[in-house]
Amino acid sequence: MSDEPGVTRTLIESVRGLRYPDLTAEAREVARHCVLDFLGVALAGSREPLVDILVDVLVRPESGEAAGLIGRNERATAPTAALVNGAAGHALDFDDTHALMMGHPTVPVLPALLALCEREPVRGDALLTALVAGIELECRLAAVIGARHYDVGFHSTATLGTFGAAAACAHLLGLEERQWAHAIGLAGTQAAGLKAAFGTMTKPFHAGHAAAAGLVAADLARRGFTSTADVVEVPQGFAQTHAGDRPDGAAFERLAGRFLIRDTLFKYHAACYLTHAAIEAARQLREEHAIDAASVESVEVTVAPGLLGVCNIAEPHTGLEGKFSLRATTALALLGVDTADLGTYSDARMADPPLVRLRDRVRIVTQSGLASTRAHVAVRSAGRNLDAEADTGTPAADLTKQRARLRGKFDALVTPVLGQQQAAKLALAALTIDESPAAASLLGLARPQ
């Protein structure tokens, strides 16, 4: 490899030498939150029909035994387990997100690591460090290639997440520098996923595919499989084909000394994160002004133009489509429906006449320069003009409060699957994972007894 580091090599070197003592206290705590939250949403997601289909099509014909499935008693090969667990973790679109990545950072990375943990002895602190390494690399890659990658239609969780999974597995396996480069090259050539699939089962499949592809990339590179060593910046490489431009190497300087995992955002509404600001503003109006939904004459939701290609399904007919409908989620909030309840996003709810009537009074407008995590909601109701704004793009300042809030979310999701006692044991194991001598113990607790 050249002595002059290119973009790919700089990405690798930003995380390859990362060790647990290097992590700040805040980075460790947020990483624990990521583990807890992923396990919660994956356990709830394991009951979704898309997971049943994946098990029928992929798991049962393989008869693999290497790795377990979250929330289920079946076992699979390591790549298939990573795929199914990743899809389960994204099935409800309730998992964490990251504004810089413009995607979901944990769901493509952690399932790959958990599959490795059952194959090789791994300490909990090593798992946590590898998770941070994967998230740091995928977020830095997002900064290097810019927003155009997402704007033209690529799903960053699927594409950048493949790099994150490969980096995390390379870190956990202790690959050498050249092996790292080949693992990242293999990730780049497998990275795929289109935003056109939002609102369908394919979006969660993206996350699982990224986890499996990243795991395979690291395993192949470990055995000597070769690939492009400068896949990000090389002509016809990832940046040129997936973002249409040269990578911005100056981004590394802007991000130096930071742990980007600290900026992870967690969901408290079970819908696309870009609907959350509108939900919050609509809830505020309902609570402060005692709005009667039947008296609402019109609703105007102002958002950034980029949201139109993500969560603007005008007339959702399925629960999955409802998660990507600004009109439907705003109407749900104004009706006082619990947008954190998984049962809210059903086909029957989307056809409910009061919801449909209010949804059809919602108009979406855009404002250039508005952050994607901000929304303004204006309601005309009973002769009153009411409005509110919300911004859901700021990471929690108080991590103790965030931990408590995530624990409440976890309990609500996991108790119906595992029962109260086992849910409590799993939560404790997740929040103390870096003290565990065996990271694989998480998967043992994440299955029905």
Three-class SS state of 138: helix
| Amino acid code (one letter) for 50 | L
Domain ranges of the chain: 7-266+399-445, 273-391
Do 359 and 312 form a contact (C-beta atoms < 8 A)?
no
pLDDT of residue 81: 98
User: Dihedrals φ, ψ of 379, to 5°?
Assistant: -120, 130
- Return the number of other C-beta atoms located less than 10 Å from residue 22's C-beta: 11
How far apart, in whole angstroms, are the C-alpha atoms of residue 104 and residue 170? Answer: 20
List, for residues 385-418, the tens digit of each pLDDT value: 999 999 999 999 999 999 999 999 999 999 999 9
Phi-psi region of 359 (alpha: psi -120 to 50; beta: other; left: phi over 0): alpha
- Is 7-266+399-445 assigned to CATH 1.10.4100.10? yes
What is the spatial distance between Cα 169 and Cα 280, in angstroms, rounded to a whole number?
37
| pTM as predicted | 0.93
For 234, list phi and psi in degrees, rounded to 5: -65, 150
Q: At which residue do the structure tokens 């399904």 appear?
A: 313
Coil, strand or helix at 76: strand
Q: Any residues with CB less than 8 A from the CB of 300 and at least 6 apart, and which? A: 362, 363, 365, 377, 378
Tell me which H or E stretch contains 424. helix 420-431
Element of type H or E holding 321: helix 319-322
What token pair was written down for 82? 């990573």
- SS3 state at 342: helix
Block residue for tokens 């070769």:
226
What's the rounded Cα separation, in Å, for the pair 430 and 445? 10
Among 396, 394, 339, 388, smallest CA distance to 371 is for 394
The tokens for 412 are 């609500």
Question: Which ranges in 191-271 belong to alpha helices (H)?
Answer: 202-222, 238-243, 251-255
- Residue 178 contacts residue 16 (beta carbons within 8 Å): no
Q: Render each residue's pLDDT in the chain as its tens digit; 449 residues.
A: 444 579 999 999 999 999 999 999 999 999 999 999 999 999 999 999 999 999 999 999 998 999 999 999 999 999 999 999 999 999 999 999 999 999 999 999 999 999 999 988 999 999 999 999 999 999 999 999 999 999 999 999 999 999 999 999 999 999 999 999 999 999 999 999 999 999 999 999 999 999 999 999 999 999 999 999 999 999 999 999 999 988 998 999 999 999 999 999 999 999 999 999 999 999 999 999 999 988 999 999 999 999 998 999 999 999 999 999 999 999 999 999 999 999 999 999 999 999 999 999 999 999 999 999 999 999 999 889 999 999 999 999 999 999 999 999 999 999 999 999 999 999 999 999 999 999 999 999 999 88
Q: Please tell us whether the domain made up of 273-391 is placed in CATH 1.10.1660.10.
A: no
Task: Report how far residue 410's alpha carbon sits from residue 40's, in angstroms, rounded to the nearest whole number.
Answer: 5
3-class DSSP state of 89: helix
**pLDDT tens per residue, range 43-101:** 999 999 999 999 999 999 998 999 999 999 999 999 999 999 999 999 999 999 999 99
Contact at 8 Å (CB) between 367 and 304? Answer: yes
C-beta of residue 162 within 8 angstroms of C-beta of residue 86: no
Tracing tokens 């092996």 back to the chain, one arrives at: 179
Round to the nearest angstrom and report the end-to-end CA distance of the chain. 50
CB neighbourhood size of 222 (10 A):
17
Please give the structure tokens belonging to residue 152: 């033209």
Which residue has tokens 């009537």? 357
